[in-house]
Amino acid sequence: LLNIAKKNSFKGGRTLSISVKQLQEAENFIVKEVQKSFESELTKTDRKGRKGGRFACLNPVQDESGLWVVGQRLKNKNSMTVDSSLQKLLPYRHVSRLFMQRAHTSGHRGRDATLARFRQLYWVIQGSKLAQSIKSKCQMCKLREAKFLEQQMGQLPEARLQPSPAFNHVMIDLFGPYSIVTDEFWKKWTELYAPALIIRGKWNTTNRNLRPGDVVIIADRNTLRGDYRLGIVQEVFPSQDGKVRRVNVMYKNFQIGEKVQKYKGHNEAVIVSRSAQRLSLLIAVDMDQDQETKSEEKESV
């Protein structure tokens, strides 16, 4: 069907074999068509300036092929997908149910495992609910999870009841448990915790980056609110996405118990590294420049 649509001719559908690439292109074609049904929602901007409408916490963006994907925070390394690519966003509709059924029938495992396999390619709102629905209606799983008959516990053998020296029968495996625990940890981490990194519960609004020269209030954890220091940003350290989350700040190092906190010169100043989340912008450096520009314009008039 995809070949027919590309060539605008029924002759395009004549083929003896279907390659993996053709299957992937056909699947992406279906996903792109489904995404058109809620594309208007994805391009909405709320009052806080966030894009994505009700999907804003997922930070949806379009990739090079025009597909809407989520999880920009995991762009450097997405452990949920095979090739570290970002998941394609789907609505809670029939197509999502078909893809979830495919993920479940690949192993007929539980809800979390089904959802983890589904998230190797796609992301859907209320995915856990959809995975549980597929799992509960699977006839194969109903057969495999049928309860076995139970019987009263039998009597202990005579060897278990006879006294014997302590640690008479002991076997120790020193390295097996460590490898099993490690593998199980990363398996559970990928299935249960990694998906939570995509959703931004807070800090999902882009704000102005701190700049050298900004006057800030430094909210150190071991300082009372009334004793917060004033500082000047000396150096900023942008992350790979261009956002500044850590800076070097210069401020006066007050002595403990000092009553008169007067600034006596540059020699008393210290420079420390602080997270941007512990700073409050008081006076922006470009604000001073704007005021100087306005005053110069008034004088020229």
CA distance 109 to 107: 5
CA distance 231 to 279: 9
* Structure confidence at residue 257 (pLDDT): 53
Maximal CA-CA distance, the chain: 109
Using 50, 70 and 90 to split pLDDT, how confident is the model at 178? low
**Percent of the chain's residues with pLDDT above 70:** 67
* Structure confidence at residue 236 (pLDDT): 93
CATH 2.30.30.30 range(s) for the chain read: 210-255+268-285
Name the DSSP class of 162: S
**275 pLDDT exceeds 80?**
yes
Pick the closest to residue 71 from 120, 26, 36 (CA basis): 120
CATH 1.10.340.70 range(s) for the chain read: 21-145
* Structure confidence at residue 235 (pLDDT): 94
* Structure confidence at residue 233 (pLDDT): 93
Contact 69, 87 (CB under 8 A): yes
Sequential DSSP letters for 87-129: EEEE-SSHHHHHHHHHHHHTT---HHHHHHHHTTTEEETTHHH
Backbone angles phi, psi at 290, to 5 degrees: -65, -40
Using 50, 70 and 90 to split pLDDT, how confident is the model at 276? confident
Contact 128, 111 (CB under 8 A): yes
* Structure confidence at residue 171 (pLDDT): 64
Q: Which range scores top for mean pLDDT: 5-14, 67-76, 147-156, 258-267?
A: 67-76
Backbone angles phi, psi at 60, to 5 degrees: -70, 140
* Structure confidence at residue 255 (pLDDT): 57
The pTM for the full model equals 0.61
Chain-wide mean pLDDT for the chain? Answer: 78
Return the structure tokens found at 299. Answer: 């004088």
Task: Give the dihedral sign, CA 36/37/42/44.
Answer: positive
**297 pLDDT exceeds 70?**
no
Average pLDDT on 144-163 reads 60
* Structure confidence at residue 206 (pLDDT): 72
Domain 21-145 annotated CATH 1.10.340.70: yes
* Structure confidence at residue 2 (pLDDT): 60
Using 50, 70 and 90 to split pLDDT, how confident is the model at 111? very high
Domain 210-255+268-285 annotated CATH 2.30.30.30: yes
**278 pLDDT exceeds 60?**
yes
